[in-house]
Amino acid sequence: MSDLLFQQLSTVQSDKQIQPNTLASAAAIAPTTKFTRLTGTTPVTTITPPVSGYCELTFVWTTGTANGFTSSAAVNGIAVTYTTITDRPITLHFDPRTALWYPAAVV
């Protein structure tokens, strides 16, 4: 893995790193930074992991009608359906053993 990609996924970043990006929500997305903003109303069912092992990604829906993540048993699918709240970050954890994404517990 390149140093640049490693840093893009790190929890600590400098102002030299690529800024968080915005993607249109779709059934399948492929984020390239740890923090990604999502627009639109389409629920996400699969996320292409940016690395081959365990990783964490954080998403924020920027629209008032966010639908969130829909459960899918497919490879790189979402393990548990989660309805998002606009402008509230949610972190998903990728388990390479199951090839599924798990939303962090929300209390």
Q: How many CA atoms lie within 13 A of 106 on its CB side?
A: 13
Give 20-61 pLDDT, tens digit per residue. 889 999 999 999 888 999 998 899 999 999 988 999 999 999
Which residues, at least 6 apart from 6, have a Cβ–Cβ distance to it below 8 Å? none
Contact call for residues 69 and 27 (beta carbons, < 8 A): no
Which CATH number is correct for 3-8+20-103, 1.10.10, 2.60.40, 3.30.420, 2.60.120? 2.60.120
Give 14-27 pLDDT, tens digit per residue. 676 677 889 999 99
Contact call for residues 44 and 80 (beta carbons, < 8 A): no
Residue 59 burial (CB count, 10 A): 26
Residue 38 burial (CB count, 10 A): 24
